[in-house]
Amino acid sequence: MELVLFLITALVTVGAAIAMVLSHNAVHSALWLVLNFFGVAVLYLLLNAPFLAMIQITVYAGAIMVLFLFVIMLLGSEKGQEEVNGLPWQTPVALVLGLVLLGIAGYAIFGANQPALPVAADGAGEYGRPESLARALFSTYLLPFEVAGVLLLVALVGAVVLTLKSRQGERA
Amino acid sequence: MVSTEYYVMLSAILFTIGVTGVLTRRNALVVFMSVELMLNSANLALVSFARQWAQVDGQILTFFVITVAAAEVAVGLALLVGIFRTRQTTNVDEVNTMHG
């Protein structure tokens, strides 16, 4: 049962990712990526991470992709600029290199000389609950947590500064 | 229970699609989305390792990756808007000089 759910979700996720790369309209790409994020959220639920699944939907599929769609429509860059390809030889090379990367990863994961992983822990453990996540976040990982807050503040200020029109008009 | 190897392989497949997207697409916004796809695949691997060892640390790291991705998207899209203002394009091939 779980394997069937995993296979369906994996197919949807990979299909959405491929459609994202292949679609010519940037808005369609963004919507396929939202589907991909939802699929990964379902996989998080299967992996005993319900809190991360909700974070994935609210932050990734909600906030980040809305920002993407907003900028795509603001710039009007959803189509028309794909015809100009300055490096046409790059596409086949990229495909070959991608397949090589996939082959290396597959060998590293399923290769003959890999020691077998011990059987995974029971999915109903304590570790995946929001409570234990919060306990680790506010004790062991308190400093990274604070640094992440500062990082978000810096990103916010940086984004405002970058998009601000200069008053003296020295910007070209 | 689905074995961890399958999850990591799925993560590798998603990462490869993201790499291919970065290398083949010319629209800077789609390149950005492919980077998000790669970050997401790394998150999937981290969460599956967290289940493998029944430790919460992998999920914590995923939490931080999502935070950094949000910050990165905000700054990156601001940069794209700035580039579009001066060059009227989002094609990565045409953005080939350092000065505006």
Amino acid at B24: T
Q: Are residues A4 and A69 in the same domain?
A: yes
Domain for residue B99, yes or no? Answer: no
Domain for residue B96, yes or no? Answer: no
Contact residues for B36 (Cβ-Cβ < 8 A; gap 6+): A33, A60, A64, B69, B73
Domain for residue B59, yes or no? Answer: yes
Share of chain B above pLDDT 90, in %: 55
Q: What is the pLDDT of residue A80?
A: 54
Q: Do B43 and A159 touch (CB under 8 A)?
A: no
Domain for residue B56, yes or no? Answer: yes
- Considering A6-15, A74-83, A86-95, the range whose residues carry the highest mean pLDDT is A6-15
Domain for residue B81, yes or no? Answer: yes
Structural domain of residue A63, as residue ranges?
1-79
Domain for residue A94, yes or no? Answer: no
> What's the rounded Cα separation, in Å, for the pair A138 and A150?
16
Whether residue B79 has pLDDT greater than 80: yes
Q: What is the pLDDT of residue B89?
A: 79
Give the confidence band of B92 by pLDDT, cuts at 50, 70, 90: confident
Q: What pTM, to 2 d.p., does this model score? A: 0.89
- Tokens (6 digits) for B44: 């999937």
CATH of the domain at B34: 1.10.287.3510
Structural domain of residue B23, as residue ranges?
4-87
Q: In DSSP terms, which residues pair with B27 in a beta bridge?
A: B91
Q: Do A127 and B54 touch (CB under 8 A)?
A: yes
A 81-120: CB under 8 A from B:
81-82, 84-87, 90-91, 93-95, 97-99, 101-102, 105-106, 109-110, 117, 120
Amino acid at A68: F
Contacts of A48 in chain B (CB under 8 A): 51
Give the confidence band of A172 by pLDDT, cuts at 50, 70, 90: very low
Contact (Cβ atoms closer than 8 angstroms) between residue A55 and residue A42: no
Q: Does A8 touch chain B (CB under 8 A)?
A: no
> How many structural domains is chain A composed of?
2
CATH of the domain at A67: 1.20.120.1200
Q: Does A166 touch chain B (CB under 8 A)?
A: no
Q: What is the pLDDT of residue A158?
A: 92
Domain for residue B55, yes or no? Answer: yes
Give the confidence band of B36 by pLDDT, cuts at 50, 70, 90: very high
Whether residue A78 has pLDDT greater than 80: no
> How many structural domains is chain B composed of?
1
Q: Are residues A138 and A65 in the same domain?
A: no
More confident residue, A157 or A79: A157
More confident residue, A81 or A12: A12
Q: What is the pLDDT of residue B37?
A: 95
pLDDT digit string, tens, across residues A141-161:
999 999 999 999 999 999 999
Residue B82: its H or E element: helix B57-87
Contacts of A112 in chain B (CB under 8 A): none
Q: In DSSP terms, which residues pair with B91 in a beta bridge?
A: B27
Whether residue A91 has pLDDT greater than 70: yes
ipTM (interface predicted TM): 0.91
Domain for residue A107, yes or no? Answer: no
> What's the rounded Cα separation, in Å, for the pair A44 and A50?
7
Share of chain A above pLDDT 70, in %: 82
**Which of B15, B44, B80 is opposite residue A40, by nearest beta carbon?**
B44
Closest Cα in chain B to A171: B100
Whether residue A118 has pLDDT greater than 80: no
Å from B6 to nearest chain A CA? 9
> What's the rounded Cα separation, in Å, for the pair A118 and A114?
12
Mean pLDDT for the stretch of residues B58-84? 91
Domain for residue B97, yes or no? Answer: no
Å from B70 to nearest chain A CA? 6
Whether residue A123 has pLDDT greater than 80: no
Q: Does A121 touch chain B (CB under 8 A)?
A: yes
Domain for residue B100, yes or no? Answer: no
Whether residue B19 has pLDDT greater than 90: yes
Nearest to B12 by CA among B50, B42, B46, B52: B42
Give the confidence band of A122 by pLDDT, cuts at 50, 70, 90: low
Whether residue A74 has pLDDT greater than 90: no
> What's the rounded Cα separation, in Å, for the pair A45 and A55?
11
A 43-72: CB under 8 A from B:
43-44, 46-49, 51-52, 55-56, 59-60, 63-64, 67-68, 71-72
Å from A26 to nearest chain B CA? 6
Q: What is the pLDDT of residue A37?
A: 95
More confident residue, A125 or A170: A125
